[in-house]
Structure formats: structure tokens, C-alpha cells
Structure 1
């Protein structure tokens, strides 16, 4: 650790290098136990992240601490590389930076402090392979069977003061090893509190808290990581996904994004993957008062916290507000190329409303169209790359095929509705005209219908047989004894002439 940050020192042969660790969150410091056991060696980083690796290292260390000699069977079963105790492993002495090769078992024993009382150094290779304590005691008992019995008999005859003296040197090594084994067994079976003390300490189970913390952690899939690496902001490189989502959630001023929305925005999961532009709409106080039960867990970034449905029939202003929030969010969350696609969508929607704001039905179709374009952008990234996906921003045009089809379907639906309304109105008018009118303004129609039921009068019979001049009927006043002038006739649609003959019906 230096003043300007953490560094990693590497040495190979006579060459030494110093590497600065720019992103310490992705660096995991290992112990000597992890070094000699090679925990999770050869595992793909896509299948095991840094948090899972830390849990694995802690579990292996705990298993090794339970064994007093050798390597625990459970720990050996968890290793990806077989542990060979006699293999030589290089270690660097911290004072002289000298590389020394020592057995793996020797480093493991020193790391577990099994040889601390004997003054053995990890950086000093053992002179010879040491035998186990059990073999030592067995050999000592076989070689010194007579003196041991004599010593036991002699110790019974000694006084209490004499028996407390130090034993002879020839039995010191065996007694020390036996005493160490006894103390080790006593430490393993020793309780922390005395039963006679009557003091009970409350036990706290942290396993549930650990499981809940792991359940709320966002762990993206390899496909999600590949998409985010292509469209993510350069400042997010090599950062933990959980850190990115929590920062973006707390850094927004105009809107507070829910964890499911941030999780879907991590890899641009628009359209069929559930994310919509309307998920970035501002949640006002009135909306919260209208639906107080619609609460979201703001600390759970796991997949069990699913995305809630967005607004189905938004207005044009609500859509523009959501698009502006998405663009503001994308400037800090995505790179400049991806932000340009969002900017193209905002410019198109602004120009579309110059002739008038669209209604809610048109806006609903525009939301579907924008979501499909953003989903298409993500699909091209996976298939062809970001360079080809940038052509999607040229598709934000009024002549786009999908947009034309959506608007045409809307016009067809409107025409069908109007035809149905006209047909219903015509049927209603026909029903009213066929019914018998009663009083009021329809009195004249009723009187005319009554007149049609009466027999024809003499006047009507005369008018039917009078000669005509074209479409004009003959004026009867002109034929009467009083006569009449054409200029003073009561009707302009009457003809004034003397016919050659008249029917008998016309003669009084």
C-alpha cells in the first residue's frame, strides 16, 4: 500500500514490476492458505464473481482451522486442484526479497500456526521431512521402554516437591508433544462460559442476514455483461454491477428509479424484455396519493423484485417527460453513442408535435414504436455490434414502415367505428320514422297521413285531368269567368293558355 494507492509487486527471475491497482473493488487479497491450496484455480470469472470467491475462500479457511494435523477432508474435496504436500512452492522473504522454495505443507502449517511454539519460519525450508508426533511417541516408547517404567516407578517414590522438578532431557521432547496434544483437545472442547456461573449469552444467527444480502445482490448474466460492456459509460468499467445500480439510484435528482428498472436498464432490456420508456416517468406526489399501496422495495436488486407494468394510456406530455428523463439518465449511464440514439428519439417526438399534440391513442402507439426501436438496438448489438446498431437512430422518421403501419391501423379502427356509429344512427332514424308520431311538433305529419286516408275531392280530380304545358299546370283562374292576368297569378308554376278541349270532369 502506497500513498498514491494500492500496488501489486510482481517478480519473475531477476525482473521486478510494480502495477497500480486502479479499481481496488475487483482486487481480492488472498492468504497464505489460499496461495498454497490454489482455491478455485482455473475457474472461469463469468461463473464466479469476486463476492462468491470471497465466500469460498472464507469457507476453505474455516475448514482448515478445524484440523490440527494435515488438510481436512472436506477442504480437500472443495479444491479444484489436488493438494500435494511435498510440492515445492516459491515464497518471497519480505526483508531480502529472496525467492525460497518450500513444501506446500510447510507453508500451510506455518499459516495455521501449528509450528509457532517451535520457532519455525515459513521462509526457511525444513532440513528433512519430519515425522508425525504419533510416530515419534511410538518410536520413543519402543526404544526406551525400560527407562520409562523405571522413571514412572521412581516418580511414585519421590516427594511432592521432588516430583515437581523438571524431567530428564531424554524424555523432554515426548512429554512436550503429549502435553501440546492434551491442551489442543482441551481447547477444542472448552466452553466459553462456566455452567455454574448461570450466565446465558443470547445467540445471534447471522445466516439469515447473509442469505438475504446475497438474495438482494444483482448478478448479471454473461449476455447482460456483454451488452453493458458495449453500451456502458466508460467510467463504469471494471466496477461492480451492484455499486453501479446503487449509485445511479441515489444520484438522480429528477426521478428515483426502482431497482427492477435499473436492473433492466443495465443491459438496455426494452420491448419484449419488459422495460418501457414510461418506466422512466416522474412519480409525482399525486400519483403516490392516488395509489399508496403500490410500494417497491428500493434495496432489493435481485430478480425476484420484478418490473411493475407501466402506464397503458399516457398523454403526450407524460411521454415527453419520460423520454427526457431517459435521455438525462443515459448521458451518465451509457456511452455517447448510445446516448445519441436516445437524443434522436427525443428530437423526433418534439418535431412530431409541431402540428398539434397527438391524442392518447396515438401516444400509446408511439410508446410501442419507440420501445420496439430501442429493443431492436439491443438485438443488433448482440448480433452485429454497436457500430451497426447505431443505424437505428436514422429510423426515427415519420416514414418508418412500422410507424406507418401502426398509424394506418389506428385510422382503420377509427373508420370502422364511424361506420358503426352511422349505421346505428340510421337504424334509429328509421325506427323513429316508422313509429306513430304523437302530438307536439309532429302534428302536421299526423294530419297529412289522415288526409291520405280520405277520398279524393272534386278539386283534386279536376287538377289531375287538366292539360299541362311542359311541367306547368294550367291555371284554373285564367279559364274562369273572372279571368286573370299572367302577371298577377298567385303562382309562377302555372301556365296561362286556352286549351282546345277539356274533359267532362272539368266542366261544372
Structure 2
């Protein structure tokens, strides 16, 4: 009884449906194996006060018949996912071993990386981030519940797969981009007859950008090294790699926020990457000189 009370106390101060959540926690039924991360959203201060002010939220029913908590509302931002992860980590810091806390920390870094890459919190990418986070969590916990001599090695193998540069996430991003391109094409087709000349030009520029970005062969760690001016303009990597952007000229890039004139050499890793991708260093680092 003393042990049950010791684990119930921290959980009741963090989560509303603490008994079913505790059962899921200690039977490793999380993520794709059971409860979603969103079940672990910590209570806000006012909700916590209302929940703990009387005995209405108190229960010691830890039987298999305990009603599972309702499905949480769909999250709308990366902050929602991070809030749930920090709620889970707060519980884990009190009662879990370090190797489980490392798993949660990796998930926090994964979600944080996506938040920095998608400041607009696009709904489809937020949804995919939550889905893959649940999948990562469930895959790792599978090995803790397995009766296998290699469970420890397999567990850490799954933990180290949790990354914004993992193959599963790269494939998920490509699917997202493909669906966005399809939506843009459908919208452009529906408004072909009513678009004015300026808006048609903007749509054409947007379609070219979407098509060019539907598959981006440049690794993310290289993309982060690409220089950018204060107004958001960046060098046209295809041009500086020795090729030509689709629809552009030597003096002018086809995209409004890219340029064929840059004031300094590109970082060594960036230049090496685009040389391999776009045909070799056929021109100067600086592109055409300013007149």
C-alpha cells in the first residue's frame, strides 16, 4: 500500500486520470502500444486546484477494469506535444530509471527540432510529429516488455533512431510535401479562370517552388548552414552548384527570395554538397559580379 501511495501521489498532481495512466506507465503501454502522449498533458494551475481540493478525483481502483481515459483533443501545435512530454518527464524524474528518461529527452529534442523548422505550426506536420513520436515511444517500450536476451541492445537501438534526420521522418516529410503539392495544384486548377495576371504570376512562382521542394535532396544539417540575408533572401543553391534553376536566367533567379549574386563564398560543406548534386563547380562562389 505504501508503494502504491508513493506513485499515486506524484501522478495525481500532474494528470487528471491518474490510475489508468499509472497502469499504462508501469505496463509500458504507451505511444503506439497504448495511450497517446497527449494523455499526459499536465493539469493547469486552476484545474489542479479544482482537482485536488476535494476527494472527487481520488480513487485507488487499479484493477484491469479501470476505465481508460477519454481520447484527448487533437493537438494544434508543437507546444502541446512538448507540454505532454514535459509532464511525462516530470513524473519520470521522480520514479523512473535514467534510461527511460533518456527516451523522453530524445523525444523532446525531436519535437523541438520540428518546431524550429516549422514555426507556422502547420496542422499536417504537427499531426505527423505526434504520430511518429507515439510510434518511436511504442517501438522502444516494446523491447522493455519483451522476453529476449537482446532487449537492452534493441531498446537502445530504437532510442537512437529518434531523430529529425531519421529515415522514417524523412519519408514522412516527403509524403507531407507531396500532399501539399497536390493540394496546390488542385487549388490552382479550380481558380484558373478567375485569377488576375499578378495573382497568376504569384501562383506560378509558388507552384515552381512547391515542385522544386517536393523532394529536397539536401540534408537538413547542410540546409542549416546556408547563409541568409536579413530580408530572408538566400543564394540559389542550384545555380551556385553549377546548374540553373528552372525558369531563371544567369542574372536572375526564378524565385523571389533567392539570388544569383552573393557577397562571400558559401560554407565549405554547403558548396561541396551542391557541387555533387548539381554538376560541379562551374562558376565562382560569388556568381555574377555586381555592376
For normalisation by structure 1, the TM-score amounts to 0.33
Contact residue 269 and residue 275 of structure 1 kept, 8 A: yes
Taking a change above 3 Å as real, the CA distance of residues 404 and 356 of structure 1, as seen in their structure-2 partners, is closer
Kindly provide the CA deviation profile for residues 82-136 of structure 1, in whole angstroms up to 9, marking residues without a partner as x: xxxxxxxxxxxxxxxxxxxxxxxxxxxxxxxxxxxxxxxxxxxxxxxxxxxxxxx
Kindly provide the CA deviation profile for residues 430-461 of structure 1, in whole angstroms up to 9, marking residues without a partner as x: 9xxxxxxxxxxxxxxxxxxxxxxxxxxxxxxx
Residue 178 (structure 2) aligned to one of 397, 403, 412: 412
Residue 68 (structure 2) aligned to one of 303, 306, 317: 306
Taking a change above 3 Å as real, the CA distance of residues 380 and 343 of structure 1, as seen in their structure-2 partners, is same
Contact residue 270 and residue 276 of structure 1 kept, 8 A: yes
2:67 is paired with a residue of what secondary structure?
coil
Contact residue 75 and residue 81 of structure 2 kept, 8 A: no
2:155: which partner in 1?
Answer: 389
2:84: which partner in 1?
Answer: 322
2:94 is the alignment partner of 1:332: yes
Kindly provide the CA deviation profile for residues 377-422 of structure 1, in whole angstroms up to 9, marking residues without a partner as x: 1112214323430222211222212212222221121111111111
Taking a change above 3 Å as real, the CA distance of residues 276 and 298 of structure 1, as seen in their structure-2 partners, is farther
Taking a change above 3 Å as real, the CA distance of residues 327 and 353 of structure 1, as seen in their structure-2 partners, is same
1:380: which partner in 2?
Answer: 143
Contact residue 28 and residue 142 of structure 2 kept, 8 A: no
1:426 is paired with a residue of what secondary structure?
coil
Report the Cα offset of residue 306 of structure 1: 1.3
d(CA) in 1 for partners of 2:9 and 2:195?
Answer: 66
Taking a change above 3 Å as real, the CA distance of residues 348 and 429 of structure 1, as seen in their structure-2 partners, is closer
d(CA) in 1 for partners of 2:152 and 2:143?
Answer: 7
For normalisation by structure 2, the TM-score amounts to 0.55
2:123 is the alignment partner of 1:360: yes
d(CA) in 2 for partners of 1:418 and 1:298?
Answer: 51
d(CA) in 2 for partners of 1:279 and 1:324?
Answer: 12
2:134: which partner in 1?
Answer: 371
CA-based RMSD: 2.9
Contact residue 297 and residue 305 of structure 1 kept, 8 A: no
Taking a change above 3 Å as real, the CA distance of residues 412 and 343 of structure 1, as seen in their structure-2 partners, is same
Q: Which structure features the higher share of strand residues? A: 1
Taking a change above 3 Å as real, the CA distance of residues 324 and 345 of structure 1, as seen in their structure-2 partners, is same
1:114: which partner in 2?
Answer: none
Taking a change above 3 Å as real, the CA distance of residues 256 and 308 of structure 1, as seen in their structure-2 partners, is closer
d(CA) in 2 for partners of 1:376 and 1:417?
Answer: 32
2:104: which partner in 1?
Answer: 342
Report the Cα offset of residue 424 of structure 1: 0.6
d(CA) in 1 for partners of 2:195 and 2:76?
Answer: 38
Report the Cα offset of residue 297 of structure 1: 5.7
2:169 is the alignment partner of 1:403: yes
Superposed, 1:441-460 pairs within 5 Å as none
Report the Cα offset of residue 356 of structure 1: 4.5
Contact residue 31 and residue 137 of structure 2 kept, 8 A: yes
1:273: which partner in 2?
Answer: 33
Contact residue 78 and residue 112 of structure 2 kept, 8 A: no
Q: Which has the higher contact order (CA 8 A, sep 6+)?
A: 2
Report the Cα offset of residue 282 of structure 1: 2.6
Contact residue 40 and residue 88 of structure 2 kept, 8 A: yes
Structure 1, unmatched stretches of 5+, are 1-24, 26-238, 289-295, 431-508
Contact residue 20 and residue 69 of structure 2 kept, 8 A: yes
Report the Cα offset of residue 255 of structure 1: 4.7
